[in-house]
Structure 1
Amino acid sequence: MPIQRLLAAPKLRSSKKEIVISAEAADGTIVRRAVQRPPHLAFAVVFALIALAAPAQQKVDVTTNHNDLARTGANTHETALTPANVTASTFGLLTKFPVDDQVYSQPLVVTDIKLKDSSFGTGTHDLVFITTVNNSVYAFDANDPKATKPIWHVNFGAPANLYDADLGCLDLNGSMGIIGTPVIDKPHNALYVVALTRVGDKFTQRLHALDLASGADLANSPVTITAPAFDPLLQNQRPALLLTNHTVYVGYASHCDKEPYHGFLLGYDARTLRQTAVLNTSPKGGQASIWQSGQAPAVDAAGNIYIVTGNGTWNGVTDFSESFMKLSPSLKLLDWFTPTNHRELDAKDNDLDSSGATLIPGTNLVVGGGKEGVLYTLDTRKLGHLGDQHAIQHFQATGSHLHSVVFWQSAKNGDLLYIWGQRDKERVYKITNGKVGETPIITRPESNEGHPGAMLSLSANGGHDGILWAAIHASGDSWHETRPGILHAYDADDINHELWNSWQNRGRDDCDGYSKMAPPTVANGKVFLASFGKENIGTGGLCIYGLLPDSQSPAAPTNISPEIKGGSVTLTWPAVSDAVTYTVAASDKADGSFHTIATGLTTAIYSGIQAPIGMSYYTVTSSNSHGEGPPSKPIPVRIENPTAKGRMH
């Protein structure tokens, strides 16, 4: 393991039981190590400094669609999952949570959230959030395979339905309440989500800001979404929400091209939810939706926003169908690009915006493609306006619809783009000298059978140990019906090497129906996959995959310290090496039957235990991907009967 240089002088914090040393590493990370205090303080300092020199394994939050504002789809801080350990014998389904309807959104993950519901105690948990078209938002424990219910679940009321507007197609199969992926502001403890709700015989869309720990609406939430020419029933909140510039941006497409509709992007102040900006992509005409197969707008380092539009009117002044658009934070048009054949694209329903925009980190490139399967590479400094001659390049990257693009900088193979288009083969392209090589460097031999192709994500430890995750229907076409889904894992440096798929051991790992256009989320040694469930409408789920338990579980916690205050007990203990979560159990006898009172804890403290009068005993166990370790020694806690006052004799 490489040693990091410590830039700042280490700081020491000492107690009777442990020593904590912190310092700034060469990469700017604040690294902390806690060690049990031995008799000789000097030895402890040396030991902690040695531990501190090694890179810290940090938890990863996935708070936005496709991982980052560039929409690369890559988590490059994944250290637990590698091509060596993602195999049919070592990796599989850990748990499956049912939800109340289909899931179109990508799961999001936030770590170390302190809960407010007393039934879960006051410890911290890692949470995964998922939404349904029944207007529900769920928060599940991301680590606890024994959990039987969500941490919290809120519902915003009756959703609109596919038949409420005679839309004339089955792109969505039933309810259409929450469709777009939420976005999370962890520092402000907020999850933003839009719900379409039936109110009597009318419909309304509302932007909610929810408390991450409880699901309750925060101050100023919700707010009704309005804009000139905005129809709350016909406007489909399909693209994922964007949070940047202290603003939540909400984008819109259509339902089955049912008119009248426009492409809208609306800005709301993240604290007050006051509307701050409105963009209509076709104010003099119609359509020009911001669909992007559910992908959020991209944002560059200067805060500029990139969207791609679909079929509709175009005049090059106010209306911009079939176009890349560069916008300021206030949604003023800064630049644009429209292909030469935009009118043909419109006539043949070949929307340009099926993949959205992906920015290539460290360059001035933006890439994206549409239903033709043509990939465009543009210069963000000068998009070029009308005409293919202004693009850096455009070429046939896949045979049909292009719905998902992933970028990764491989230490072995350089800058790579991954695509798996509709009715086509999976391909990898290399970016060199500011251009995408127009011949793939790797192509898998088999083709998928139908719409929409695969939704992709990638995990890696920097430029190494890359894994490409591909969620796709196992057979058939997912345009107008629910199809069985399959999740593949490929070596990202050689996609012809498949590591694992969810049908190798289908009885154990199957996640039921394919969740159309919802990328898998990879974080902290786990893969979170949305599901449509077992039926064509009305069912859904969340599958969590990870390394299967084996005998290498972590050690039992030691030196557990109880503190009694006002009849409430707090337990603290030194963190166990390699532990991910902790479980606390209680009994009225040291050798009695212990029952679990808290599980999924992510920090080495649990407070708020309402212990009975007399003697109680507590144990703590630690868990990681290898399973649950042995329990600690029972810790006795005595609660005295308070002295009676004012008693009559």
Structure 2
Amino acid sequence: MRNSKRASILATAWIGLIAIPSTAALAANSASFVKVDTSTVGNWIGHYGADGYNVSQDTTVKTAAYAQINLSGASNYVWSASPAGTAALQRPENPSGRIASTWYAPNSFFIDVNLTDGNTHQIALYNLDFDWSIRSQTINVRDASTNAILDSRTLAAGAAFHNGEYLVWNVQGHVKYEIIRTGAFNAVISGIFFDAPNGTSSGSLSIPTHHATLANDGQNLKETILTPTNVSSASFGKIVSVPLSGDVYTQPLFQSGVNIPGKGTHDTVFTVTGNGVAYAIDAYSGAVLWTSSLVPPGATAVLDVYSTPVLSALTNAMYVLVHGYSGSVSIYALFALNLADGTPYAAPAVIGKIGGWTTYISGPSIASGRMFNGNLLSRNLVLNPINNVVYASFAAGGDLGPYNGWIVGYNSVKNASGDLSQAAVWCSTPNGNSGGYADGGNGAGGIWMSGGGIAVDALGDMYIATGNGSFEQTLATVPYNGRLTTNVSNLKAPSGMDFGDSVIKLRPDSDVDQSHGDNPNGWGLHVADYFTPADQSYRQGPKDLDVGSSSPVLLPPEVGSTAHPNLLVMSSKEGEIWLIDRNNMGGFSSIADNVVQKVTGQIQGMWSTPAFYSLSNPSPVMYYVADAYGAATGDFAKAFSINNGRMSGTPVSVGTYRFSKPGSTPQISANGASNGLVWALDPGANVLLALNAGSLAMMFFNSGTGANALPRAFPHAFLTPMVAAGHVYVGTKGYLTIYGLH
């Protein structure tokens, strides 16, 4: 069937799936795309059609009780009533038999679907270019009331269309499928299938921040599609590598159900390149939905984008920190973009400028005279949902000094002037002169955490770790005069309030400047508690043994004890694992580390952040992929159980795959307590790996060097994958690659 004149029109009547309308209240018309399925091909029985089905030109039809269907503008055609191969659909009355048939129109036709019960149902359309006409087509899902496009999909000419592919949506209410020929002869559909939503849709899912959650634990427990069984099969692999304008230094983010004007509703992946171009990409097809080029005001070009953006459900915006320059002037700016189209939600906030490497032009400063250095690098961005402030943290690239560690906060909700107003400034070493490693005598204490995120607890307190820098071992009561709250009364802190090589709990406050004179670190944030190891002074100088080479992970009360219900886990370049009470972090003692538990000698140095699987059986588990300090390679993946406020002293599971330096920050995907998978990137081998969460020696997937290989290398060592809705997303040089079932 090459065109309508040559087609044998066997019938013009639609064999409809007609049902009596329900009296239930009708839901709003909606369509959320679920997936492309190219693996089932014509073998639909047992996969689709449990509620209803209509295979074109087959006489057996099952009516979906909730569906009213009408076909308009199409004719019927049978390529073959008894074809060979699996592309043709099974006959429902005789699954061993098949029929290669279609509804078609020379240009376009409609399938009107009215779901009358007010509930969501899954609808799958089977697309088949059986006679290799090199067809291509677009399917728009329109709101039957307004004619607005709710979703749009394009099927390219090629083997997938020839072998048969399903497009699957979750639908409510009354919609019209518009099938439009875009290449070769005729628009075609070979079957329609109705099912209950079976968990393959993302539903309401958001991965809005680095390492998946504000607890910084890296776990997505709503993964209903990927399992050890299907990830280890030939059906899992690379779907598409989307070319981008630059390299990706950040983790992709995910938001379901984004309404893109003129393009319908899409589950969407957001990413940004190192040259400052933000992308919204369809989460399943890889189609680019919008782009936005971001250059800080006053800059002529972009230097880098190292911080993973954050998404806000309150403002429906993405916040992106961009580092630009103009000649010798270095400039940071925080952008806020509407998720729907990439246009500005608010004017960008310029954080700071510096001329050359020394001349201070403008930006944050504190009373001690420390001034924000625009040549610093930022690898951390977090949105605190309690006060709706976006915080960015900074450290020096390669310890090039002089420098300090900084956190700067801006309100995520724009003010009456359309700006993001400044909400906080905090300096880790306001008075320091440590003489430490390459800090230029300025205090250092950078907040870099190997690209790890700032953790935020349910009360809005934030947790960071600092690198080498000043720390006065003479302690004094914090100078807050009882005005600013702390974990413990009369908290003893370093006399100069310099917090190099420390794990710090920061509490937002209502200060708008330093006029109270009692917070030497800044305003809008203050130290509520901290932990500093007993050997802090040993870590300084050329040894360069940062505490802050990893980032804190917050644990739920279920794994704590009566005495210590709220815990965090922290590691360092020396490979210690500290279990710290968030309610009383231990402060500093030169004699011993005042923590709940300290595990040594089990992992190598950490240049990454561990992941935590809270529902792992038989007990919750921490997963580490460490470096091997001083060695040519990295370490093996290791898992430690944790329960009743204690971590196992040795690993409960060890992988057999040795990672490259500097290790990896893993992610967990699971459907609650089942189907746990550990995902990690190996930066040296340039591969994506999937390990069994219950036994790390079992590797289910290695992207390798063949058809599933990543298209290019990672631009730096601190990247991590993102897992959502049955797919895994990986940024590399020049590409975003999507893995999934196919």
Equivalent residue number for residue 263 of structure 1: 405
Q: Secondary structure at the match of 2:603?
A: coil
Equivalent residue number for residue 707 of structure 2: 507
Q: CA deviation at 1:34?
A: 4.8
Q: CA deviation at 1:389?
A: 3.5
8 Å CA contact retained: 2:200, 2:725: no
Q: Distance in 2 between matches of 1:59 and 1:112?
A: 7
> Which letter does structure 1 place at the counterpart of 2:25?
R
In structure 2, relative to structure 1, the CA distance for the partners of 1:35 and 1:181 (3 Å cut) is closer
User: Do structure 1's residue 343 and structure 2's residue 537 form an aligned pair?
Assistant: yes
Q: Distance in 1 between matches of 2:544 and 2:304?
A: 26
With CA pairs under 8 Å and 6+ residues apart, which has the higher RCO, 1 or 2? 1
Note the residue ranges of structure 1 that are not aligned, 5 or more in a row.
1-9, 24-31, 38-49, 165-174, 476-484, 533-539, 549-649
Q: CA deviation at 1:22?
A: 6.5
Q: Distance in 2 between matches of 1:140 and 1:400?
A: 36
Equivalent residue number for residue 573 of structure 2: 371
Q: Deviations for 1:203-245, whole angstroms, at most 9, x for unmatched residues?
A: 2111111111222222333444421134443221112333332
How do 1:66-77 and structure 2 match up within 5 A? 66-77=211-222
Q: CA deviation at 1:289?
A: 0.8
Q: CA deviation at 1:508?
A: 3.4
Equivalent residue number for residue 726 of structure 2: 525
How do 1:140-539 and structure 2 match up within 5 A? 140-145=281-286, 147=287, 149=288, 151-156=290-295, 176-225=303-352, 226-228=363-365, 229-244=370-385, 245-272=387-414, 273-285=420-432, 286-315=443-472, 316-317=494-495, 318-330=497-509, 331-347=525-541, 348-362=543-557, 363=560, 364-387=566-589, 388-396=592-600, 397-422=602-627, 423-450=634-661, 452-475=662-685, 485-503=686-704, 506-515=706-715, 516-532=717-733
> Which letter does structure 2 place at the counterpart of 1:72?
D
> Which letter does structure 2 place at the counterpart of 1:74?
Q
Taking every aligned residue pair, what percent have the same amino acid on both sides? 30
8 Å CA contact retained: 1:160, 1:233: no
User: Do structure 1's residue 99 and structure 2's residue 244 form an aligned pair?
Assistant: yes
Q: Distance in 2 between matches of 1:111 and 1:90?
A: 24
Q: Distance in 1 between matches of 2:199 and 2:227?
A: 20
TM-score (normalised: structure 1): 0.70
Q: Distance in 2 between matches of 1:12 and 1:434?
A: 50
In structure 2, relative to structure 1, the CA distance for the partners of 1:247 and 1:501 (3 Å cut) is same
| Max Rg structure | 2
Q: Deviations for 1:12-36, whole angstroms, at most 9, x for unmatched residues?
A: 314984334469xxxxxxxx98589
Q: Deviations for 1:272-328, whole angstroms, at most 9, x for unmatched residues?
A: 311111110000022101111112211111111111111011121310001011111
8 Å CA contact retained: 2:625, 2:636: yes
Q: Secondary structure at the match of 1:391?
A: coil
Equivalent residue number for residue 13 of structure 1: 25
**284-293 or 237-246, which deviates more:** 237-246
8 Å CA contact retained: 2:450, 2:607: no
Q: Distance in 1 between matches of 2:335 and 2:200?
A: 38
Q: Distance in 1 between matches of 2:720 and 2:580?
A: 25
8 Å CA contact retained: 2:384, 2:456: no
Q: CA deviation at 1:474?
A: 4.0
Q: Deviations for 1:588-637, whole angstroms, at most 9, x for unmatched residues?
A: xxxxxxxxxxxxxxxxxxxxxxxxxxxxxxxxxxxxxxxxxxxxxxxxxx
Q: CA deviation at 1:56?
A: 8.7
8 Å CA contact retained: 2:553, 2:568: yes
8 Å CA contact retained: 1:234, 1:261: no
> Which letter does structure 1 place at the counterpart of 2:619?
G
> Which letter does structure 2 place at the counterpart of 1:236?
L
Equivalent residue number for residue 571 of structure 1: none
**69-78 or 51-60, which deviates more:** 51-60
> Which letter does structure 2 place at the counterpart of 1:463?
A
Q: Distance in 2 between matches of 1:468 and 1:99?
A: 27
In structure 2, relative to structure 1, the CA distance for the partners of 1:526 and 1:313 (3 Å cut) is same
TM-score (normalised: structure 2): 0.61
In structure 2, relative to structure 1, the CA distance for the partners of 1:160 and 1:496 (3 Å cut) is farther
In structure 2, relative to structure 1, the CA distance for the partners of 1:122 and 1:544 (3 Å cut) is closer
Q: Distance in 2 between matches of 1:55 and 1:302?
A: 33
Q: Secondary structure at the match of 1:514?
A: coil
8 Å CA contact retained: 2:450, 2:608: yes
In structure 2, relative to structure 1, the CA distance for the partners of 1:137 and 1:507 (3 Å cut) is same
8 Å CA contact retained: 2:26, 2:173: no
> Which letter does structure 2 place at the counterpart of 1:498?
M
8 Å CA contact retained: 1:306, 1:357: yes
**505-514 or 461-470, which deviates more:** 505-514
Equivalent residue number for residue 268 of structure 2: 127
In structure 2, relative to structure 1, the CA distance for the partners of 1:160 and 1:439 (3 Å cut) is farther
> Which letter does structure 2 place at the counterpart of 1:183?
V
Q: Deviations for 1:414-459, whole angstroms, at most 9, x for unmatched residues?
A: 1100001012121000002201111000112343342x11221110
Q: Secondary structure at the match of 2:347?
A: coil
Q: Secondary structure at the match of 2:540?
A: helix
Aligned residues: CA RMSD: 2.9
8 Å CA contact retained: 1:402, 1:419: no
For this pair of structures, how many residues does the alignment match? 483
Q: CA deviation at 1:488?
A: 0.5
How do 1:31-46 and structure 2 match up within 5 A? 34=172
8 Å CA contact retained: 2:202, 2:724: no
In structure 2, relative to structure 1, the CA distance for the partners of 1:202 and 1:51 (3 Å cut) is closer
Q: CA deviation at 1:11?
A: 10
Q: CA deviation at 1:159?
A: 11
How do 1:592-631 and structure 2 match up within 5 A? none
Q: Distance in 2 between matches of 1:418 and 1:160?
A: 42
Q: Distance in 1 between matches of 2:551 and 2:533?
A: 15
Q: Distance in 1 between matches of 2:568 and 2:326?
A: 41
8 Å CA contact retained: 1:373, 1:402: no
> Which letter does structure 2 place at the counterpart of 1:247?
V
Q: CA deviation at 1:52?
A: 9.4
Note the residue ranges of structure 2 that are not aligned, 5 or more in a row.
1-21, 28-67, 69-113, 121-169, 176-194, 353-362, 415-419, 433-442, 473-493, 510-524, 561-565, 628-633
Q: Distance in 2 between matches of 1:371 and 1:11?
A: 65
Q: CA deviation at 1:379?
A: 0.3
Q: Distance in 2 between matches of 1:107 and 1:138?
A: 10
